[in-house]
Amino acid sequence: MKILFFSAKPYDKVFFNKHNTHSLQLDFLETHLGPHIVNAVDAGTEAVCVFVNDKLTPEVLEVLAGKGVKIIALRCAGFNNVHLETAKKLGMRVCRVPAYSPEAVAEHAVAMLLTLNRKTHKAYNRVREQNFSLTGLLGFNLFHKTVGVIGTGKIGKAFCKIMLGFGCKVLAYDLYPDAELSNTGVEYCPLEQVLQQSDIISLHCPLSADNKHLVNEQSLQLMKQGATLINTSRGGLINTSDVIQALKTGKLAYLGIDVYEQEEKLFFKDLSGSIIEDDTIQRLMSFPNVLVTGHQAFFTEEALTQIAETTLNNIYLLGEGKEPDAAFMLV
């Protein structure tokens, strides 16, 4: 079976080739999938493997189906970039990796929180310049702080457990509360209460039409003055313009984002020699209390191994006419 990968980076080639135990034919393209490239897909391609910034619109899916593509494999958990109704209508199977080392993303969220709070990135740069002053590096204890977690799937659950270990009070909001988490001391509350009472808020929910711009002018007004916001989930959960205004007024004391609503033109690319035309991300990065990483939270050896193994096994089983675990299937 021939699989064509889009948005492929060198590490994708390494891990997928390493774990290709079914001897599938793997071809890699660095470009993202969209209307600009879909017509170049070879007629013999049976599956395409895509990532978060590939655009599988109805038009793209129709072209793929016409070329004989039967399987859409997402090597990620999110699937808001795939028009599932069209895929189903065209008889295409769509699979994903719903959980790949959730601890990787949860730990990155904690790393961002600690970096912002204790200003270790600034201290590192200072010391390298032989400046050992502590002025401007004052942080705060996480111990006994109230942490709000929005979304308690596998990643949110892992994050909750870490925060409990720091001695934090953990409030959570999810449409489907987790009984195990409740037994460990996590308190499920209405969203409004989580926003109002939390010193730190971390987003761990998938993006949907219902929660797009969950963090906006209205929800920001509910938050404590000087709250910290961390987003390692999806960029579209945040209305960036409203968040910038909250940073300017001090409503938000700190912001850490590993995702950005317009990231497809920026992330996973080396733009160090380019002029970035996105004024919004430039404004964000100008704040001393904002930390931006480029969709790095998933990037551990354990996570990449799980992504490669699960994705290739899903495709192999579907190609053999067998059904992968239901948790992996979207259509």
Annotation marks residue 320 as catalytic: no
Q: What angle do CA 26, 30, 32 make, to 5 degrees?
A: 105
Joined tokens for residue 317: 């089983």
Annotation marks residue 75 as catalytic: no
Joined tokens for residue 256: 């850490």
Q: How many residues in the chain?
A: 331
Residue 287 DSSP symbol? -
Taking CA atoms, 24 is separated from 65, 153, 307, 325, in Å, by 20, 32, 16, 20
Q: How far apart are CA 191 and CA 328, in angstroms?
A: 29
The SS3 of residue 260 is: coil
Give backbone dihedrals phi and psi of 213, rounded to 5 degrees, phi first.
Answer: 55, 45
Between helices 102-118 and 120-128, what is the axis angle to 10°?
60
Residues 75, 93, 96, 234: which is the catalytic one? 234
Residues 261, 263, 264, 309: which is the catalytic one? 263
CB atoms near residue 132 (< 10 Å):
8
Active site residues: 234, 263
